[in-house]
Structure 1
Amino acid sequence: MESRMDLFARIRRDARIEGLGTRKLAARFGVGRNTVRRALQSAEPPARKVPDRVAPKLGPFKDAIDAMLREDLAAPRKQRHTATRIWNRLIDEHAAEVGYPSVRDYVRARRSQIAAEADVLASVAIVPQEHAPGAEAEVDFGEFWIDLAGTRTKVFIFVFRMSHSGKAIHRAYPTLSQEAFLEGHVTAFEELGGIPTMQIKYDNLGQAVKKVLSVGRRREENDRWALFRSHYGFDAFYCEPGERGAHEKGGVEGEVGRFRRSWLTPVPKVTSLAELNGYIERCEARDDDRRITGRLSTVGQDWERERTRLAPLPADRFEPGQPLTPMVDHSALVTIRQAKYSVPASLIGRRVRALLRASEVLIFDGRRLVARHERVAVRNGQAVLLDHYLEVLRIKPGALSGSTVLSHARTTGAFTAEHEAFWDASRRVNGDAAGTRELLDVLLLHRHLPASAVIAGIRAAMSVGSVLAEVVAVEARRAATTDPTVPAPSSVVTANVVSLTQRRLMDPLAVIAGLPRDRRPTPSVAAYDELLKRRTAKDAARNSNEGAHPA
């Protein structure tokens, strides 16, 4: 189909070359004379007039639609009218006989007009911004799911994104605690090697803001957060509450979703959060090669230019953990944030010092670290170690079999099949109480020797039928000394165990026990017999001399 532009060009060509008049040109091209005149006057066809479409059935209800749209200005974002809902209300409340397309088209055009009339267009319009290198960053939290040791678990990801280059640091934490918030910042500052010189943008997070004040962007900050900002020397920019401020840090909000889709899908399968964060760090390195839409350089290239503009880190590192001073109860447990953690039983009844971090809990007796646990994110959960109760169990060995700490040790893999086998064999030989004490002595070895060395010692002792903790200790120390890197238990040779009982047995059994055949000659006491003969001769001579002497 010929366009109007082509038609005008042909009319003007024939008029110029052949000198045809208006009537002949109209007849040749099948158009009206007015069209020919407009073509001869201008090479560009005039714009077509769009007729104002009249909707006589919708007209009486336009005011009602406008009222509904004005109500939406103050309504929550997820509870605003759709065109379908407005159409249904017109039918139900006004008995309107109008079609859905008419309502849809009117709502589509009228919604933005009403927003502009109410002077709220500025809250939804986005003005492109330029960010100076090293000046600004944005922070946000997201959430995702992982399979943690086979259990589907929700975790939270802290994201710190540089506004200029798009370089981002991500870390996963079990909770949305202030400790995670601060630790995420410390990790980001140290990974980036500096601090933004201008500001960092935030939502009104409870980890930082105690109260949103009614005037401007002023906020009443949490005391610990204020101390943290003062230590690192940066300014915080708090976005407008709700949807009005969503666009003010759109870079990091988009980064949360992008990273989750790119690297955390499908659901990651890990054994610990440390393993997960190691995987995230490798993903961040690969992200340096990507290009943000509209840029010629990669994120890594932009970051290399930006990193030199950051402010330096302070000399001292801020401790993001929360200091606490809990009391140790009669079960050798301390309660921290509605979770319980074990400590050595010798501290029962004393107050200790605890440091609550994002992913772990450290417990000190004075300056001495006495316990380290992964942070428990479940209310009323427990983190206990069998090692903390060994001294008590030596006094009460019967309490071990049904104890919570033994159940936890089996679940975590700290109490292995080798421990179970040694315990069973020791109880058969020594009885329940004495056999359990032998096991507890073996467990005490873990305080001084690597776990795999102790396991090697257990295997070596049991290979010759010994269920004594002393034999396990000797072989465990030998395994640790032989290979300082602590080899896997399966690689340890156990044939070098010396059984004193088997040494006294016949040579064939000694060979079975792994001992070399004793080829030395049988011991003889013949030399001692010669000494005895000499002593007897001397005694006889002395007795004869005494008999010959006169009285």
Structure 2
Amino acid sequence: MKERSRVEQFERIRRDHRDEELSIRALAEKHRVHRRTVRAALDQAIPPARKPPERVAPVLGPHVALIRSWLTADLTAPRKQRHTARRVWQRLLEEEGVVVAESSVRGLVAQLRVEVGGDRAQVMVPQTHPAAEEAEVDFGEFTAVIAGVVMKVFMFCLRLSHSGKAIHVAYANQTQESFLDGHVRAFERLGGVPTGMIRYDNLKPAVIRVALGRDRFEHPRFIALRSHYGYDSFFCAPGIEGAHEKGGVEGEIGRFRRRHLTPVPHVASLAALNLALAAADARDDARRIGARAETVGAAAARELPLLNPLPEVFDVSLSLSCRVDAKARVCVRQSYYSVPARFAGRRLEVRLGATGVRVLDAGRLVAEHTRSLHKGSEDLVLDHYLEVLTRKPGAMAGATALVAARATGAFTGAHQRFWDAARRQHGDGPGTRILVGVLLLHRTLPAAAIAAGIEAALILGSFDADLVAVEARSALLATGDTSRPVPVPLPVTASANATTPRPAPSLAAYDHLLTEAIA
């Protein structure tokens, strides 16, 4: 505002000089300014810049050299043990006896840091990324409430450098399985693989040790993933100095967390959280990065067809050898998972994935679980203990696997009513054995048919596993489904105890013989 008034004042002086031909003295008297101002106005229309006053620092002046020496020594000191402005002020008070305001010291320290090079700005070279050639990968953290439990969740992010299209996947941990699985999922959702390189920082799942310069000792499984998909890797400089080398994904993680994960998300499971992240990625296709003319989705539509085609899916699971304990469990990364009881005491192969755990015996799948989100947890399947419960029916009521089956809805109210009625009629032990026989039917018959068989047994007041089986097959035939029953374990989890499925009994062959005999 002051600058505008000076320009207007110069204009009035120049107009009066031009129109009225007043002298410099007359113009100075008329406009109440010094004759130097009049001469300056007549010389040029734009007022000259005001000269900043030269202020003297009588208190800090004698100590400038000392403060400069402290800041110069900081250039070779550990980063966390360098002088702050407050520490400089404290030393001046304690060691030099200088009584000065902290704000004055802060201003001087900021100026001297630039002079000694401590705050020298790092110049970035603008980059152009050709379509489909480069991408960046990193992990970020956020908090979510999963099934009522507040958890720290790790977010894998792969971002295409050209279009800015990004894929986000949430994991309960930052293990190598999650790191590799994030690549597989991201490539599948993009529909291809970058033709050039992917930039990384020095994540432990990929790098065993940082060598001199850009050399890295990489993990063999990461090398196998890279070789399978046919791209190159580029590792950024260690520490904060290399963060700008993959600044796109660094900024993307923060932006996505603020845009889609604030407030803290509440979900029922990790799978539901990943569905929400995928939906957020789809919504981001409509956004624009900076002043770009096209949206992220439009740029990705040009870029995605140029990616290399996808090979077959890479198996990211880690192979482990685990011994089954006396409770028919294997311990994997401090979490317990049940297997069929007949494998107790044996050593089985475990394939540990990012979200699942598969247990195999000589290459045959015997159990499958969702990977636990918490250490020390137990994921037990009731079907795995049925043979033991036939011999030990008293253990049924307090079985942890029964509690889990009730929680998942696999053990229904109809099962409980049948069990209660069977125990009343036959006693605790025999009644429980009858229930176990009914539960074994889940290996060969659909759950809906067994539910119908249980209801029929409750109506008849006769509790026998064979009766439930007959009524279940009758209900299955009544629906018109005469195909071979599909084995459905009690929980929706693979079981090694599954017997060979059998078709419903039929007397059609005997009816044919009887017809021929009569003829």
Task: Give the stretch that moved more between structures: 203-212 or 144-153.
Answer: 144-153
Cα offset, 1:80, TM superposition: 5.4
Cα contact 1:340–1:383 (8 A) shared by 2: yes
1:361 corresponds in structure 2 to 357
Task: Give the stretch that moved more between structures: 156-165 or 401-410.
Answer: 401-410
Give the CA RMSD over aligned residues.
Answer: 2.5
- Distance in 2 separating the partners of 1:256 and 1:306: 21
2:232 corresponds in structure 1 to 235
- Mapping of residues 511-550 of structure 1, within 5 Å: none
> Are the structure 2 counterparts of residues 18 and 361 from structure 1 closer, same or farther at C-alpha, using a change threshold of 3 Å?
same
Extract unaligned runs of 5+ from structure 2. Answer: 487-519
Task: Give the stretch that moved more between structures: 143-152 or 430-439.
Answer: 143-152
- Distance in 1 separating the partners of 2:41 and 2:114: 38
The one-letter code sitting in structure 1 at the alignment partner of 2:201 is: D
1:468 corresponds in structure 2 to 464
- Distance in 2 separating the partners of 1:319 and 1:259: 28
- Mapping of residues 230-269 of structure 1, within 5 Å: 230-269=227-266
The one-letter code sitting in structure 1 at the alignment partner of 2:362 is: G
- Distance in 2 separating the partners of 1:476 and 1:69: 85
Q: 1:43 aligns with which of 42, 45, 70?
A: 45
Question: What's the secondary structure of 2:438's corresponding residue?
Answer: helix
2:23 corresponds in structure 1 to 21
Q: 1:302 aligns with which of 294, 299, 302?
A: 299
Question: What's the secondary structure of 1:331's corresponding residue?
Answer: coil
The one-letter code sitting in structure 2 at the alignment partner of 1:281 is: A
2:197 corresponds in structure 1 to 199
- Mapping of residues 31-110 of structure 1, within 5 Å: 31-70=33-72, 73=75, 81-110=83-112
Cα offset, 1:464, TM superposition: 4.4
- Distance in 1 separating the partners of 2:397 and 2:294: 63
- Distance in 2 separating the partners of 1:432 and 1:136: 67
Please give the per-residue CA displacement for 1:400-440, whole angstroms capped at 9, x wherever unaligned: 22333223333444333332222222111111111001111
Q: Identity of paired residues, percent?
A: 54
1:121 corresponds in structure 2 to 120
Question: What's the secondary structure of 1:210's corresponding residue?
Answer: strand
- Distance in 2 separating the partners of 1:146 and 1:460: 45
* Larger Cα-atom Rg: 1
- Distance in 2 separating the partners of 1:70 and 1:405: 67
Question: What's the secondary structure of 1:109's corresponding residue?
Answer: helix
Cα offset, 1:452, TM superposition: 4.6
Cα offset, 1:479, TM superposition: 5.2
Question: What's the secondary structure of 2:159's corresponding residue?
Answer: strand
Please give the per-residue CA displacement for 1:316-356, whole angstroms capped at 9, x wherever unaligned: 32111112232333332223233322111222343322211
- Distance in 1 separating the partners of 2:393 and 2:138: 51
Question: What's the secondary structure of 1:211's corresponding residue?
Answer: strand
> Are the structure 2 counterparts of residues 407 and 79 from structure 1 closer, same or farther at C-alpha, using a change threshold of 3 Å?
farther
- Distance in 1 separating the partners of 2:18 and 2:95: 65
> Are the structure 2 counterparts of residues 78 and 412 from structure 1 closer, same or farther at C-alpha, using a change threshold of 3 Å?
farther
Count of aligned positions: 479
- Distance in 2 separating the partners of 1:472 and 1:93: 92
Q: 2:323 aligns with which of 317, 323, 327?
A: 327
- Distance in 1 separating the partners of 2:448 and 2:29: 102
> Are the structure 2 counterparts of residues 336 and 288 from structure 1 closer, same or farther at C-alpha, using a change threshold of 3 Å?
same
- Distance in 2 separating the partners of 1:68 and 1:198: 47
1:507 corresponds in structure 2 to none
> Are the structure 2 counterparts of residues 313 and 64 from structure 1 closer, same or farther at C-alpha, using a change threshold of 3 Å?
farther
The one-letter code sitting in structure 1 at the alignment partner of 2:202 is: N
2:374 corresponds in structure 1 to 378
Question: What's the secondary structure of 1:121's corresponding residue?
Answer: coil
Cα offset, 1:219, TM superposition: 0.8
Extract unaligned runs of 5+ from structure 1. Answer: 487-551
Cα contact 1:438–1:468 (8 A) shared by 2: yes
1:147 corresponds in structure 2 to 145
1:548 corresponds in structure 2 to none
- Distance in 1 separating the partners of 2:30 and 2:450: 105
Question: What's the secondary structure of 1:3's corresponding residue?
Answer: helix
The one-letter code sitting in structure 2 at the alignment partner of 1:266 is: P
- Distance in 1 separating the partners of 2:291 and 2:12: 42
Cα contact 1:55–1:102 (8 A) shared by 2: no
> Are the structure 2 counterparts of residues 415 and 86 from structure 1 closer, same or farther at C-alpha, using a change threshold of 3 Å?
farther
- Distance in 2 separating the partners of 1:248 and 1:189: 22
- Distance in 1 separating the partners of 2:141 and 2:101: 43
